[in-house]
């Protein structure tokens, strides 16, 4: 197994003991100790193999330890790992150009997580709004934008933000996919609207096509910035590089993370050029952002998506998986709906889903439950029919075993086991 740690430290009892004693207990945990990953598979400390259909909340979106990412990280780590942002290095500009080319031609700010990318977007929106005395940002109920104080305030789920009051001012929320509610909320103070083009943590909610188009026109009419949080939807998850490309519109700002680094911690904000240029020296920074090592990992991810035609794979496998899930829906009457696009899929059930997730985990399949009754299924975009068949077989067995109870409690974020 992993030669970097002595055998006795791999023992699962020792591992969990260290966590209990020394790690801040802010996560619900499955109890499993993972020690190795490859593609869609993970292995635990007992050597048990798991099919991972929710790889790191979409971080390992092109599979665990993708060989191209491993190779890029290994090679770059021998050449140059970090260079401070008061200098140049070749790879940051290359990556920015690439991100610009595959999206809407903007400029890029690099950071290290989704929340930081959204923080950058908030600050840029405030810079933009300050020209006309506006600072308000409207986001959606049930959204998820991160855990820093500003992004958790922007996140439209008070259970995440309330304990941390007083919260930053200038944020308000409206129901998702309800254009009238948004139109009424906009006032002379609104500088920007932020939306996940498909809500992830909120339960894989796909909006109506004309909703996003109406939001886009409203933003243009009122000179407000349209920000898309594509942290979860980006990099092929939906069958296009970015989810906005399904809707015939372009955001002014887009935030990225998760799959972008193939497992390496990165975040990025892409902004329309004229807006991006408001961030003059001194306005924003990240010490680690856009390091040579991070950029090489990202370049390898994008290169892999292009060379291995993974967008095409997502469309084919997405349809295949969705059809299998529809078959499960016919078989198990407590499945209310199959939701999603591409390989960003979910089944909505009647009752509580955490028991099913736990049962699947026991049988070697990792999926996620959000909002109590939405089973999120988001395999690596490199997946194939064999893996999908194996996953659906396990899911079918677990659904048969577990007609869920009626009551819907919520399963907390960070907990795919229902233990918290």
Ligand X SMILES: *Cc1c(COP(=O)(O)O)cnc(C)c1O
Residues lying near ligand X in the complex (CB under 6 A) are found at 57, 113-115, 144-146, 196, 200-201, 229, 231-232, 257
Residue with smaller CB distance to ligand X, 229 or 359? 229
Residue with smaller CB distance to ligand X, 61 or 353? 61
Residue with smaller CB distance to ligand X, 140 or 335? 140
Residue with smaller CB distance to ligand X, 114 or 342? 114
Cα torsion through 145, 226, 60, 54, rounded to 10: 60
Measured from the CB of residue 385, what is the shortest distance to ligand X in angstroms? 27
Measured from the CB of residue 417, what is the shortest distance to ligand X in angstroms? 19
**95 exposed, middle or buried (CB, 10 Å; 0-12, 13-18, 19+)?**
buried
Residue with smaller CB distance to ligand X, 146 or 156? 146
Do residues 54 and 414 lie in contact, with contact meaning Cβ atoms separated by under 8 Å? Answer: no
List strand residue ranges (DSSP E) for 136-211, in order.
Answer: 136-140, 171-174, 190-195
Q: How far is Cα 198 from Cα 328, in angstroms, rounded to an integer? A: 23
Residue with smaller CB distance to ligand X, 151 or 373? 151
The alpha carbon dihedral of 145, 150, 153, 154 has a sign of: negative
Cα torsion through 99, 285, 141, 176, rounded to 10: -30
Q: Which helix (H) or strand (E) holds 347?
A: strand 344-349
Residue with smaller CB distance to ligand X, 200 or 372? 200
Measured from the CB of residue 25, what is the shortest distance to ligand X in angstroms? 18
Annotate 297-311 with b (16+ C-beta within 10 A) or e (fewer). Answer: bbbbbbebbeeeebb
| Cβ-based neighbours of 92, under 8 Å, separated by 6 or more | 110, 290, 292, 295
Measured from the CB of residue 59, what is the shortest distance to ligand X in angstroms? 8
Measured between alpha carbons, how far is residue 361 from residues 170, 332, 354 in Å?
42, 20, 11
Measured from the CB of residue 320, what is the shortest distance to ligand X in angstroms? 24
Measured from the CB of residue 362, what is the shortest distance to ligand X in angstroms? 26
Measured from the CB of residue 378, what is the shortest distance to ligand X in angstroms? 11
Q: How far is Cα 90 from Cα 99, in angstroms, rounded to an integer? A: 15
Give me the residue whose beta carbon is nearest to ligand X.
114
């Amino acid at each position: 197994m992993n030669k970097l740690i002595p055998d006795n430290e791999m023992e699962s009892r020792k591992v969990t003991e260290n966590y209990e004693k020394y790690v801040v207990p802010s996560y619900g945990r499955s109890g499993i100790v993972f020690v190795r990953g490859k593609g869609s598979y993970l292995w635990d400390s007992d050597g048990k193999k798991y099919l991972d259909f929710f790889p790191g909340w979409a971080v390992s979106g092109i599979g665990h330890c993708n060989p191209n990412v491993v190779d890029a990280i290994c090679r770059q780590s021998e050449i140059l790992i970090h260079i401070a942002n008061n200098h140049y290095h070749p790879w940051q500009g290359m990556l920015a150009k690439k991100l610009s080319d595959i999206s809407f031609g903007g400029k890029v700010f690099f950071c290290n997580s989704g929340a930081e990318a959204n923080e950058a977007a908030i600050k840029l929106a405030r810079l933009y709004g300050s020209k006309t005395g506006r600072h308000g940002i409207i986001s959606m109920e049930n959204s998820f934008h991160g855990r820093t104080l500003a992004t958790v305030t922007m996140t439209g789920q008070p259970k995440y933000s309330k304990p941390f009051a007083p919260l930053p001012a200038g944020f308000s929320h409206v129901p998702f996919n309800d254009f009238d509610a948004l139109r009424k909320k906009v006032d002379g103070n609104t500088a920007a609207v932020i939306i996940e083009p498909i809500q992830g943590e909120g339960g894989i909610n796909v909006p109506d096509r004309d909703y996003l188009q109406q939001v886009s026109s409203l933003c243009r009419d009122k000179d407000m910035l349209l920000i898309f949080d594509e942290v979860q939807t980006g990099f092929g998850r939906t069958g296009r590089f970015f989810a906005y490309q399904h809707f015939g519109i372009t955001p002014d700002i887009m935030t990225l993370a998760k799959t972008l680094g193939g497992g390496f911690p990165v975040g990025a904000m892409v902004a329309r050029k004229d807006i991006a240029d408001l961030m003059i020296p001194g306005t924003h920074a990240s010490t680690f952002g856009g390091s040579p090592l991070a950029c090489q990992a990202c370049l390898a991810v994008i290169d892999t998506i292009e060379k291995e035609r993974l967008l095409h794979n997502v469309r084919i496998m997405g349809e295949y998986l969705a059809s299998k899930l529809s078959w499960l829906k016919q078989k198990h009457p407590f499945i209310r709906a199959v939701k999603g696009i591409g390989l960003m899929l979910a089944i909505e059930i009647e009752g509580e889903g955490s028991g099913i997730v736990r049962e699947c985990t026991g049988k070697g399949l990792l999926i996620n439950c959000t909002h109590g009754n939405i089973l999120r299924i988001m395999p690596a975009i490199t997946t194939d029919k064999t893996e999908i068949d194996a996953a659906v077989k396990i899911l079918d067995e677990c659904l048969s075993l577990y007609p869920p109870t009626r009551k819907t409690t919520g399963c907390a974020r960070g907990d795919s086991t229902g233990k918290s």
